[in-house]
Amino acid sequence: MNYSEKVMDHFSNPRNVGEIENPSAVGEVGNAVCGDIMKIYLKIEDGIITDVKFKTFGCGAAIATSSMATELIKGKSVDEALALTNKAVIEALDGLPPAKIHCSVLAEEAVKAAISDYYKKNGIDKEVPTAGASCDGDCSACNGH
Amino acid sequence: MPPLIYADNAATTNVRPEVLEEMLPYFGPEYGNPSSLYSIGRKASLAIADARERIARTLGAKPNEIYFTSCGSESDNWAIKGAAHANASKGKHIITTVYEHHAVLHTMDSLKKEGFEITYLKVDSEGLISPEEFEAAIRPDTILAAVMYANNEIGTILPIKEFAAIAKAHKVLFFTDAVQAVGNIPVNVSELGVDMLSLSGHKIHAPKGIGALYVRTGVRLGTLIDGGGQERGRRGGTENVAYIRGLAKALELAVAELDDMPRVAALRDRLAREIVKIPYSRINGSMTHRLPGNLNVSFEFIEGESLILLLDMAGICASTGSACSTASLEPSHVLLSIGLPAEKAHGSLRLTLSHGNTEQDVDTILEKLPPIVQRLRDMSPLYEEIAHKKS
């Protein structure tokens, strides 16, 4: 399993690890049987993600994609965070091994689950798009750049 | 970089200097083809005969019962497929275990497609199978049993001598994959009474790319490679003279140094005693019927690949049964076979010690491991509840 230097950097020095007290929203995806769980905490003020933290149970790629996803949405508007794709996470990490692409999908799902929680808590009647929508099942599309 | 602590000897081992020295002439002046008639060819042929004899002696076999192969997997494939095909007229039932190496399990998959019927013996929570359970699986149409001597992940040693005697009484051929046993515990084919036994060079400080298969005289086994008559016509292809020399030397050294194994077992026991002091950890597999250097533990709330990567950064080489360390989605079939739930199998760590390991290695592992486990737990959402209860 060969990881890029970026993946190893985000794995060994993950950004935004932890919990937020009284978060605006929380999203948790994955399960222990499959070997990865991601939990993302958001602090949202005036539609802007002012703080984000994560906790992840999983492999090196799961931790690195969580770290990168939180970096990519920090300081962004909720709408911008909703537009985050797994492909963008992969590109920001300079690629992932094919067997680890699902970790990037999980990171996108975790962000979307947290935003869905935010909508629910605030009575916002909006649909959260399905995660992994940019995934057409062609693994080389994400990995081959 | 800190000095490397190699605690993954069940994966592979370094080539010992004495082994390399034994091999070097055959990359240089002694390059003759063993089948050639002139002097350097004859010398190569004698070098192989000498190696075969030395290997046979260490294993309690006759020289013409030893066949050289390219690896343990090849030996496993040949023994099982060769015996199944050569004996198919007598029956099509084969017995094996659920926690064999994939070289055996996937070979069984191939035979199943050809119409053979396979019984997979289950193991108990310690990884053990009793002789009674083995005997109960034998049917009138059983032609072959393939049971590993020692498990590669949890180090469990099975009662192969008893199994072989039972198989013999029922006229069933008995093959054992001894890849993990050789060099760690005494292995003597005459005492064990097995019909076939496989071993691999790179687990005992010979290079990767050489293995051997013991086939007792009189056992019917199909030809593996049709060719120029090498290996008594059963496995063609010009012999890998240098590697065959290396295997003989490595095996002799391994057997001569078996008396170092109690020291290795004591190192392993100290690791085990200290590691289980980490909360929410457990040892996987029997501690009594176990290879001396093997330790397999699970840590709850964390995943094995992350653990291996962080240990690597601390200069420690180890392995895991987590799915995330391989291309498959399932965690280790061995850990699942002893009843471990998938989430605990994901958090497993295998440390396998050998002659090269020292008390200092154990000190370093015990110093580095607990904070790494804690670091991953602090990052894990599964550990949150536990952490909150504590605070």
The domain ranges of chain A are 5-143
Classified by CATH at the fold level, domain A5-143 comes out as Sufe protein. Chain: A (3.90.1010)
Q: Do A59 and B303 touch (CB under 8 A)?
A: yes
N residues, chain A: 145
pLDDT in tens, B347-358: 999 999 999 999
Q: Which residues contact A21 (CB under 8 A, 6 or more apart)?
A: none
Q: Is the pLDDT of residue B2 over 70?
A: no
pLDDT computed for residue B3 by the predictor: 77
Q: Are B379 and A28 an interchain contact pair (Cβ–Cβ within 8 Å)?
A: no
Question: Given an 8 Å threshold on Cβ–Cβ distance, is A57 in contact with B382?
Answer: yes
Distance from CA of B298 to the nearest CA of A (A): 13
Write the pLDDT tens digit of every residue in B107-141.
999 999 999 999 999 999 999 999 999 999 999 99
Closest residue of A to B314, CA-based? A12
Is residue A124's pLDDT more than 70?
A: yes
pTM: 0.93
Please give, one letter per residue, the 3-state secondary structure of chain B. Answer: CCCCEECECCCCCCCCHHHHHHHHHHHCCCCCCCCCCCHHHHHHHHHHHHHHHHHHHHHCCCHHHEEEECCHHHHHHHHHHHHHHHCCCCCCEEEEECCCCHHHHHHHHHHHHCCCEEEEECCCCCCCCCHHHHHHCCCCCEEEEECCCECCCCCEECCHHHHHHHHHHCCCEEEEECCCCECCECCCHHHHCCCEEEEEHHHCCCCCCCEEEEECCCCCCCCCECCCCCHHHCECCCCCHHHHHHHHHHHHHHHHCHHHHHHHHHHHHHHHHHHCCCCCEEECCCCCCECCCEEEEEECCCCHHHHHHHHHHCCEECECCCHHHCCCCCCCHHHHHCCCCHHHHHCEEEEECCCCCCHHHHHHHHHHHHHHHHHHHHCCHHHHHHHHHHC
Q: Is A135 a catalytic residue?
A: no
Among A59, A104, A139, the residue to mutate for chain B (most B Cβ within 10 A) = A59
Question: What's the mean pLDDT in B285-313?
Answer: 97
Say if the Cβ atoms of B306 and A60 lie within 8 Å.
yes
CB contact under 8 A, A12 and B310: yes
User: Is it the case that residue B322 has pLDDT exceeding 80?
Assistant: yes
Report d(CA B236, CA B222) in Å as an integer.
13
A1 has a chain B CB within 8 A of its CB: yes
Distance from CA of B309 to the nearest CA of A (A): 7
How many whole angstroms separate alpha carbon A58 and alpha carbon A29?
12
A62: distance to nearest CA of chain B, Å?
Answer: 9
Cross-chain Cβ contact B384/A35 below 8 Å: no
The label of the residue with tokens 């066949």 reads B67
Is the ipTM value over 0.95, yes or no? Answer: no
Average pLDDT of chain A, as a whole number: 91
Q: How many CB pairs under 8 A join A and B?
A: 73
Determine what percent of chain B is predicted with pLDDT higher than 90.
94
Token pair for B27 = 């990359």
| Residue of B248, B352, B328 whose CA lies nearest to B23 | B248
Q: What pLDDT was estimated at residue B85? A: 98
CA dihedral B185, B189, B192, B198 (to 10 degrees): 70
Indicate which residue of B258, B324, B336, B386 is catalytic.
B324
Cβ–Cβ < 8 Å for B123, B129: yes
Q: Which domains does chain B have, with CATH numbers?
A: 17-256 (3.40.640.10), 259-390 (3.90.1150.10)
Q: What does the pLDDT average to over A56-68? A: 97
